[in-house]
Amino acid sequence: MNVLQSILPRPWLMEVEASDSGCRTKPFGKPDKLKHRPVVLLISGEGVLSKKYLSGDAGLKKITENKELLWSVVPADGNTGEVTVSFLRKECIASLLDELAKNQIPLLGLRIVSQATPGEELTPEELLKREFSLRNLRRDKQRLNLLCELLYYRLRLPVLLFFFVLLLGNFLLSEQLRQENSVLQTELSAKQRNDRAQKELREKQGRIGGEYRKVPDVSFALLSDRIASYLPEEMRLSRLSLFPAVDTGNLIGRDKEVKLSFGIIRIVGETTIPGSVTLFSRFLGSDPLFAGVEVTALERRKDSSVYQFELHLKIKL
């Protein structure tokens, strides 16, 4: 119940003065300020009648069962069994009840007192605790509905704010996770591409290595030194390929078979005197290590006096 008291709004005590000419309500401000706030009516004045009865008396039952009356019963001090019932006609506050209903102000309870009513001072919080006790809630469905209605209007804004914050947090978290997932996907794709490239490179190196293992036992250092000894001064070599791959271009396909030109040395270079290519070829062809020389290309570079050439030198195996 302490939890309910901390959640529910504090009841508003509205004083009503009853007289022979009718009921008059003391000023309580604008009704819209009390919307969805429970109200307790404290009715007093000359129009309130009070009588004392013993519990179970027929006269008491006659008053409490009369649909036209509003009443409050207060037990006397001690265990005498005597009670004081205070009552007045319902029509006295009919217009007030209509105004409360029109402005959606729930009626929590009535307290009808007269000068003969024993003192029972209850604070609004105590009255709230008594009206919404578990015993009353089980016995009175209308009171239970009132409690649910008060809780709904009291908690709807905090609950909406809670779900809004929850959805906003979920959106921000989802966006962060989406970005992190995108980064991870990018890194994973890059790693997969790199792994595939590394695998293809290893396969290519394996195929090339397998082919080179078939190469006869020839001293490449001796061949390189012999070629360099015949090189004219005006000539510069840019490439010397021992047993070059056949028709591969710059790339070797993943599943493409590697074929090497066994017994061939490819020589690429440039010179300022085209006749030096012929002289260089003649020297190489006369060497006992080589079986012959073929000039496969000789052309002048555009806008230059330099000639580019390519030779295929055959080795005696």
How do residues 249-278 score in pLDDT, each as one tens digit?
Answer: 444 445 556 677 778 899 999 999 999 999
CB 218 within 8 A of CB 260: no
Residue pLDDT tens, the chain, 317 long: 455 555 666 666 777 888 777 777 766 555 566 676 777 777 877 888 888 888 888 888 888 888 888 888 777 776 777 888 888 888 888 888 887 778 777 777 777 777 655 555 556 566 656 655 556 556 666 666 666 666 666 667 777 788 888 888 888 888 888 888 888 888 999 999 999 999 888 887 777 777 667 666 678 888 889 999 999 999 999 999 887 877 654 444 455 566 777 788 999 999 999 999 999 999 999 999 899 999 999 999 888 889 999 999 998 86
CB 293 within 8 A of CB 281: yes
**Per-residue pLDDT, 163:** 82
> What single-letter DSSP state applies at residue 301?
P
Euclidean distance between CA atoms 9 and 37, whole angstroms: 6
Burial of 242-263, coded b for 16+ CB within 10 Å and e otherwise, reads bbebeeeeeebeeeeebebbeb
CATH topology match: 2-132 vs 220-315: no
CATH fourth-level superfamily of 220-315 = General secretion pathway protein M, EpsM (3.30.1360.100)
**Per-residue pLDDT, 252:** 47
**Per-residue pLDDT, 29:** 54
Burial of 214-235, coded b for 16+ CB within 10 Å and e otherwise, reads eeeeeeeeebeebbeebbeeeb
Q: Which CATH class is domain 2-132?
A: alpha beta
**With left for phi above 0 and alpha for psi between -120 and 50, is residue 45 left, alpha or beta?**
left
Euclidean distance between CA atoms 271 and 310, whole angstroms: 11
**Per-residue pLDDT, 123:** 60
How do residues 25-69 score in pLDDT, each as one tens digit?
Answer: 766 555 566 676 777 777 877 888 888 888 888 888 888 888 888
Q: Where are the domains of the chain?
A: 2-132, 155-213, 220-315
